[in-house]
Amino acid sequence: MGASWLHGVCNENSLAPLIRLLGLRLYRTSGDNSVLYDHDLESYALFDKDGRQIPQEIVTKVGEIFEQILKETVKVRDEYANDMPLVQAISMVLDRNP
């Protein structure tokens, strides 16, 4: 299917029986709380565009870096009173941490 995000997971959703059958974990999110911070990257199998599995060490390392970027964007948010695009905040984090 591609996407790992499914909107409206409820009994009326035609994919709900399949989700239950596969034993997939579901998370309820809303609004600004849509970013999940409890991903267990060690249990994921990720693949590149050619279908080759990405080594687990790389998946884990990228996850750790991503978590650090998120922490640093919180600092940027606290420093600036005005809203800014997320890409701008991430760019600032990357500029500060080459």
Question: Which pLDDT tens digit goes with each residue over 69-92?
Answer: 888 888 888 898 888 888 888 899
What was the pLDDT predicted at 45? Answer: 72
Q: What is the pTM of this model?
A: 0.50
In angstroms, rounded to a whole number, what is the distance separating the alpha carbons of residues 94 and 98? 6
82 part of a folded domain: yes
9 part of a folded domain: no
Residue of 63, 66, 27, 29 whose CA lies nearest to 46 = 63
5 part of a folded domain: no
Question: Which pLDDT tens digit goes with each residue over 2-51?
Answer: 455 566 656 677 777 787 788 776 665 555 444 444 556 666 677 888 88
Segments forming the whole domain that contains residue 86: 37-96
Number of domains, the chain: 1
Residue with tokens 């080594």: 55
CA torsion sign, 87 to 72 to 74 to 83?
A: negative
14 part of a folded domain: no
What was the pLDDT predicted at 95? Answer: 92
29 part of a folded domain: no
